[in-house]
Structure 1
Amino acid sequence: MTGSFGSFVAGAARAGRLVVQPRMGFSDPYRMRHGLERTKFAAACTVGTLTLDSYTRLGDHAAVRDALAAGVPLNGYPLVDLPVERTRALLHGIADDTFPVQVRHGSSRPEHIVRAAAAVGLDATEGGPVSYCLPYGRTPLRESVARWARGCELLAELAPPPRRPHLETFGGCLLGQLCPPGLLVAISLLEALFFVQHGIRSVSLSYAQQTDSAQDERAVRALRRLAGEFLPADVDWHTVVYTYMGVFPGTPRGARLLLEDSARLAVRAGAERLIVKTVAEAQRIPTVEENVRALERAAVAALLSDGATGPADPDSDVYAEARTFIEVTLGHSADVGRALLTAFRRGHLDVPFCLHPDNAGRSRSTVDAAGRLRWVATGAMPVRPDAPPDRLMSSAALLRALRAVADRFDHRPLETTR
């Protein structure tokens, strides 16, 4: 391929089309190829996904090999432990300049995945030193930063010009839900700067749909503005919205409404790409056909939406808070990795409800009566709480908050649908 993941998305944006993408990964190469084929020829502007299995994410390759030998299905594609020729055959005639494929994995130690992806001709992946460390395990943050620095450098080295390798930060999806958007935006931008510092010149910045559409729109617009302000001019970048990553509606109708809402959010806020979820999310791993229907439904919702509503408000609360986090963090060191380590060690970045040993654990968030995410406690972070202390959630209130979005869309009155 002579094109790149980033240039494909940029071309779609110029044509006024939202790129939609599934989270799709199967251990059977034939089923994986079928999923990519159906994605490529869906009635939508699509890119492909190879989502890897959880053993590969954890680096447990013995478990992968045992499962493959026993014929036990995995929950994703075992890219590292399958023969290179098999994956090249899977991709042959599918992955090209009209249909780039991204490797999605979730690993705090990405080097082996980067090498395997490069060996089969893929140069787009995602993650980050913070976002693929804190919520997912016990890898020390210092180790994750070092491993991700090497992973970025390997990707740049193994996909040399004219190829333009692409990295998407997962920072805007940190914890999945109940994290106020200013912190999500800041981590997404900081991880993108980290990628650039380690040789990557094509990046995307993520944001996961949260609990309030107006707050989400301000967040995506803030992310876009900050990317324009902080990323070097020779870096190509775009923003990607994730359909809500928390507890998903249990009814097919509720799931469809939430998916459509995320597509309209992406268009209104000017995002170029959307990662979709399906009607099956609350019950099981979706089928290929359910993924394709979700892609096509999101594409229709995007086409029927009202379009972008203008530039970011310079006085946006989300923009101001995110910029504060970014400036304080970068003030610790010119090296972004060291700056992140110092910020977390001092509690200047502190993810609510995250139990990782390298997270201070003094911040707490809540959902107010209007559905917006607020800070109740901020610990040593450089922002003040914007909700009173008596809004600290009990365990019962936390469980209700975790289900609030699913319940709202499952029970939305018919007259409010579009």
Structure 2
Amino acid sequence: MNEIVPSSGRAVSRRERGGFGDFVLRTHASGGLVVQPRMGFSDPDEMRTGLIATKEASATTVGTLTLDSYTRVGDREAARRALRAGLRLNGYPIVEHGAELTRLVLNGVRGPGFPVQVRHGSATPLNIFASLIEAGLDATEGGPVSYCLPYGRVPLAESVRNWARCSEIFARLRETGREPHLETFGGCMLGQLCPPSQLVAISVLEALFFYRYGLRSLSASYAQQTDPAQDREAIFALRRLCAELLPEADWHVVVYAYMGVYPTTPEGSYKLLARAAELAVATHSERLIVKTVAEAHRIPTVAENVAALEYAAAVAAMARPARGPSLTEDTQTYVEARTLVNAVLNLDPDIGRALLRAFQHGYLDIPYCVHPDNRGQTRSYIDGDGWLRWAEIGSLPLSHVVKGTQPRAMTSAGLLDALSYVQRKFDGAAPSAIRRNDLRGKSGHMMLARSPAVNPGSGVS
């Protein structure tokens, strides 16, 4: 399992093949945390400028090409019209720009010390995979569930077929001596109000799906939620399940800074980002995807992205890993997640069919998700301690492990209150104990006070 024979006939180890996943794991082994933005620009020069700025930040970084919405939904004609009209898109249109132009954008920037990942959000990603492979890229993310249910009305069965085909095509890069890397977005479902055990379960199941189709360099995602103690428990559960179920894969965990309603004040935004960086370090996570002070107001600039990267890296450098549960200590989140994973895997020997049947039977059911293939029988709430709890479990196979559910009618006012819980908590919090003068970038300016150097609206979060 540790070697392949490329077309040259010489056996190549995974470590020799390098790539995105290897860079992240080597950084972690040396005691570092990789930080990453979510930026994307339709103008190739702006995209290259953003990548260079990310590479030159005072942090260990990887680059991102976040794609535009037209490319995500496969509306190529709309993307072409916008480009002809000189309109600014909300991301990089990799399919329309073509491989030659994308290689020019990456030339001299991407390399062994600065890998680049494509982020897209598509349930129909065949053209995206073809374009990124042709451009020489070998890292991307998504998943048959996580890039279907929250993002549109593509039937889940179609998404599963699409992702199976794309995963197989992507995995063939291993035959050329390269190591393709695929990250599951499953730990970020809807961004907020999904209890962590189901986030962990879907992240693991999508990683198993990718493994089934030949990929061996993987990352499992988890998005910061409402309480740091619960988040730590969830990430340790995710790490344990990956170790148990993916023993032959090279995997790491990527933490996302909070993806729900974001604080509106700079102090609140930075305090929430600091908690995400501390969470990543505490849970031995290898990579962190940041958010910026602009999230509540507009699309961030390059300078704001760099400021967030450098701030998160500085906080991480001062944080310390926490001691997790022992391998025999079954936390509530681990028990729930393992129960969900086992129930899904037992539905069918083929993991793609198992995922479809899981949603048909309600064994997986995302609270407040209105996709037609989601049953919509589960509900969650935030308890008095700030933990996300199950209010109603619907047909989830958790009746023997989840106790004390509290069925309650969720009014529109109640839902808005829950959605804004983190924003209100951090906007009302005292200033961070971290001294801003201690967190300076290469320019010497305080990162909290950086001025935007790029026109607002020039990227995507």
TM-score band, normalised by the shorter chain? over 0.9
Single out whichever of 376-385 and 326-335 deviates more from structure 2: 376-385
Q: Is 2:214 aligned against 1:199?
A: yes
Distance 1:140 1:91 in 2: 35
Helix, strand or coil at the partner of 1:218: helix
Helix, strand or coil at the partner of 2:95: coil
Distance 1:32 1:72 in 2: 15
325 and 137 in structure 1: CA distance in 2 versus 1, 3 angstrom threshold: same
Distance 2:195 2:318 in 1: 29
Tell me the equivalent position of 1:397: 414
Q: Which amino acid aligns with 1:406?
A: Q
Q: 2:356 aligns with which of 334, 341, 344?
A: 341
Q: Deviations over 1:306-339 (max 9, x none)?
A: 2232345722110000000000000011211011
Distance 2:276 2:176 in 1: 35
Q: 2:312 aligns with which of 298, 316, 323?
A: 298
Tell me the equivalent position of 1:94: 109
Helix, strand or coil at the partner of 1:83: helix
Distance 1:229 1:298 in 2: 30
Q: Which amino acid aligns with 1:90?
A: V
Tell me the equivalent position of 1:213: 228
Percent same amino acid among aligned pairs? 58
Does the aligned pair in 2 maintain the 1:365–1:392 contact within 8 Å? no
- TM (norm. structure 2) is 0.88
88 and 2 in structure 1: CA distance in 2 versus 1, 3 angstrom threshold: farther
User: CA shift at 1:205, angstroms?
Assistant: 0.1
Distance 1:252 1:138 in 2: 35
Tell me the equivalent position of 1:152: 167
Tell me the equivalent position of 1:332: 347
Q: Deviations over 1:237-288 (max 9, x none)?
A: 0000000000000001100000010000000011100000000000111000
Does the aligned pair in 1 maintain the 2:236–2:324 contact within 8 Å? no
Q: 1:124 aligns with which of 129, 133, 139?
A: 139
Helix, strand or coil at the partner of 2:376: coil
312 and 43 in structure 1: CA distance in 2 versus 1, 3 angstrom threshold: farther
5+ residue gaps in structure 2? 1-15, 436-461
Tell me the equivalent position of 1:323: 338
Q: Which amino acid aligns with 1:149?
A: A
Tell me the equivalent position of 2:7: none
Does the aligned pair in 2 maintain the 1:240–1:273 contact within 8 Å? yes
Tell me the equivalent position of 1:375: 390
Q: Is 2:271 aligned against 1:257?
A: yes
Does the aligned pair in 2 maintain the 1:249–1:409 contact within 8 Å? yes
Helix, strand or coil at the partner of 1:10: helix
How big is the alpha-carbon RMSD for the aligned residues of Structure 1 and Structure 2?
Answer: 1.4
Tell me the equivalent position of 1:70: 85
312 and 89 in structure 1: CA distance in 2 versus 1, 3 angstrom threshold: farther
User: CA shift at 1:414, angstroms?
Assistant: 3.6
Distance 2:308 2:169 in 1: 34
Q: Which amino acid aligns with 1:21?
A: Q
Q: Is 2:294 aligned against 1:277?
A: no
Q: Which amino acid aligns with 1:241?
A: V
- TM (norm. structure 1) is 0.97
Does the aligned pair in 1 maintain the 2:99–2:132 contact within 8 Å? no
Q: Deviations over 1:192-221 (max 9, x none)?
A: 000000111110000000001000000000
Single out whichever of 81-90 and 59-68 deviates more from structure 2: 81-90
5+ residue gaps in structure 1? none
